[in-house]
Structure 1
């Protein structure tokens, strides 16, 4: 690659990175972003990313541009006891509807206050359900893009409940996660069970602790 072209690409990457930091937003997939408060009130920034639909996962941040964008309000607190699982289906359906329609220029943003727990949980659910990832794989994938992603321990428990229903396994050790939700991915892996009995015991222990 010619030097000038390489420098141009580097400047472009730096500009995109600077934009993401300034506006607190991260691209997860084509047609899907996750973010925090910094992007929620910036219509021009959202329009520059072709965002047309927004999931607002907070109680306090307004849906600033409901005359220009389509919103789904899910008024949650970032509390481990919040029944976030009650909203999994409607949020995934909303994301899927507009993520699948990205060829038509439709893009979805899921945001909360910091883009770390509530919004991240819904994005992880989407990856587990729609892209057949394990919770561990989804967490690893999203953290590589946005390192702050770390659902609170209650939300992680609900993610593992979902994973057990869909895939008959739990890929994240909830006991380790409870001790340190910011731990490295390799430190959160559930040891491979020797047999189905061991796998069942791991899940029963998870349920008992949750």
Structure 2
């Protein structure tokens, strides 16, 4: 039975005796070709769809990573700015404490009262605190602020040394020594004013450099 059916198909697909393909045969072959073309087209379309999906997926992942990296960078920058502003404030607080101590103790030294143990310890501790805050500020920058902060510390230490020299000289201290101390105090004040002005500009600038 199966052989007979197969024979019928062969007969249908074979040319007629006069070598001319019958209409039925042409119709069947056209159908087969159309079906094959549809299958091939579907395969090709599927491959292109797969490649397109893969490319789209890669772009989506890249876009997501870019967004994550950008957000992380922005959050890090805000954190750096916060730490920087806190270090500025800490430095100015330490400077104010030392400045107040020098302004209070210098007249006592001039009057001959001199340094007692408590005054000497206070000046030393406040000087060390200013140096420590300057070093902490250097961790956050920017480099311009670091240089100005070190200038404050340098001028402040010079003023402390000038006063200690007067104290150690006792009655032998001269007007030149006091003049040197006064000059050191003026330079200390000027360094503070310069830092304060520039620090304010840096804090208010949203595009402040990170280094």
- Structure with higher Rg: it is 2
Normalised by the size of structure 2, how large is the TM-score? 0.23
User: Which structure has more helix as a fraction of its residues?
Assistant: 2
TM-score by structure 1 length? Answer: 0.23
More strand by share: 1
